[in-house]
Amino acid sequence: MNKNKQDNKKLRWLILVLPLVILIGVIIAVQIMRKNPGIESTSGEPTTHNIPTKTISVQSELTNDATQDISTPKITPSTGSIPEDLSTQMTYEVIQTYPHDPGAFTQGLIIHEGFFYESTGLYGQSSLRKVVIESGEVLQQSDLPSEYFGEGLTIWEDNLVQLTWRENVGFVYDLADFSLKDQFTYSTEGWGLTHNGSDLIKSDGSATLFFLDPETYQITDRITVTYRNDPVNRLNELEFINGEIFANIWQTDNIVRIDPQTGNVLSWIDLAGILAEDSTTANTDVLNGIAYEAETNRLFVTGKNWPFVFEIRLVPQS
């Protein structure tokens, strides 16, 4: 009997004191966190960094959440939404739809002599491809080592130039046989790549476009892309078209037309809905890929893991 009484006493004491101990512990922890706000950050990345990195895209791809990217609510002008100014808006008409490898995580797309050349991303899946426009058939492919994430692609003379995302390396291939001829380094991330006939033009996910000497790959100039003085961030795949730079804005359905001299956005192209909902899968990611054929004045767009490439015509928003 006595022992039972003693046990009951201990139990009551525990029930009374234990929550108090926990409460005091929580209060102390909160006080420490307030004094040291940095304690919450476990990564080495600066917390003030406000340009989203592509890690999100890769993660969403891996967690099959990618379709959410397409329905991301419109965001503020500085991060890429279309401003409510109809005079600068354009929309599109689809002229033709062609098949595209839904396993191609498109990061760069160009046309040369009637063929697409495409750079695909993701670690372990990055490649350089030559593709038949009409059928989507891959005629030639060179895979990157798994530690490289393929990015923007352009052609310079008889060379294909391909960026990598965070590896700070650009690869230069022979156009004919994809043999690696050269490589170069750069300090920022690599996103989109095009050229204007005298310089390579590179994006890095910010609002800055870098102009590079095509022989030395050194930066010769840079511009900040703005719309009404607001920087337009997340510039991704690029294409130089009739004296303008076209740029996909990452994680949106928008392409901006940029004046290469001033960096001013001339107009916004809204491509929302170009890939029908019933053509998407869990792997379908965002719009990315602009290719222009000057000889025929044809403009093509696609996206990461999209089943189609669309030939489009731009029309003013009515």
Residues that bind Ca ion (CB under 5 A): 109, 239, 290
Q: Residue 67 carries which side chain, given as an amino acid letter? A: T
Minimum CB–partner distance for residue 240 and Ca ion (Å): 8
Minimum CB–partner distance for residue 206 and Ca ion (Å): 18
Looking at the Cβ atoms of 128 and 290, the one nearer to Ca ion is 290
| CA pair distance 198, 185, nearest whole angstrom | 19
| CA pair distance 87, 309, nearest whole angstrom | 28
Minimum CB–partner distance for residue 124 and Ca ion (Å): 23
Minimum CB–partner distance for residue 204 and Ca ion (Å): 16
Residues 6 or more apart in contact with residue 157 via CB below 8 angstroms: 214
- 153 contacts 108 by C-beta, under 8 angstroms: yes
Dihedral, CA atoms, 98, 104, 107, 112, nearest 10 degrees?
-50
Residue nearest Ca ion (C-beta atom): 239
Looking at the Cβ atoms of 77 and 192, the one nearer to Ca ion is 192
Minimum CB–partner distance for residue 31 and Ca ion (Å): 54
> Six-digit token pair at 255?
């392409």
Ramachandran bin of 164, using left for φ above 0, alpha for ψ from -120 to 50, beta for the remaining angles: beta
> Six-digit token pair at 184?
């170069």
Minimum CB–partner distance for residue 179 and Ca ion (Å): 22
- 85 contacts 268 by C-beta, under 8 angstroms: no
Looking at the Cβ atoms of 79 and 162, the one nearer to Ca ion is 162
Minimum CB–partner distance for residue 34 and Ca ion (Å): 49
Minimum CB–partner distance for residue 191 and Ca ion (Å): 11
